[in-house]
Amino acid sequence: MKNINLFLTLLAVLVISSCQQCSAQNKKPLNNKTNMKEIITNHQFEVQKNEAEWKQILTPEQYAILRLKGTEKPFTSKFEDHYDGGTYTCGACGNPLFSSDGKFDSGCGWPSFYEALDSTKIVTQTDNNHGMSRIEIMCAKCGGHLGHVFNDGPKNKTGLRYCVNGASLGFKKK
């Protein structure tokens, strides 16, 4: 049991470090030019379910990520190397979030996008967990945790990198 706990702890450190290393190139904070909607404390999500209802409709992995703000292992998502044309949606409520046109290979191990399909579909909040200060991205319709956004994306586009857990996504082909 000790070996399993040690392994899981080391794996968590590696995952967090990997995401942190991907953003280490550009540590400047994001600013208001990103057009992202900062969540406010009284924000009401359109889709309201209790935890038992979420557990019934989501897989255990989706529940751990979307509802408990977990992170999947890098390079394990079916969407990491997925480049079919279409729309990436929230895996919990189907809200359209990203276009395949905005997807790029960031090399960090998670699906990455340089822009949201519509900035009103995503809300953000400051995430100071794990000894880092990051900007968490969530589905504006159901509040599902998607990942984080960093300012180390393609400079010839928006300069942003939405680092998204593939398990938090669905996909609708064109």
With contact defined as beta carbons under 8 Å apart, do 41 and 123 qualify?
A: no
CA dihedral angle for residue 140, residue 146, residue 148, residue 150, rounded to 10 degrees: -80
Exactly one of 19, 22, 93, 163 is catalytic; name it. Answer: 163
Residue with tokens 């909040």: 125
Helices (H), the chain: 2-23, 51-57, 60-62
Q: Is-catalytic flag, 139?
A: no
Supply the residues annotated as catalytic: 163
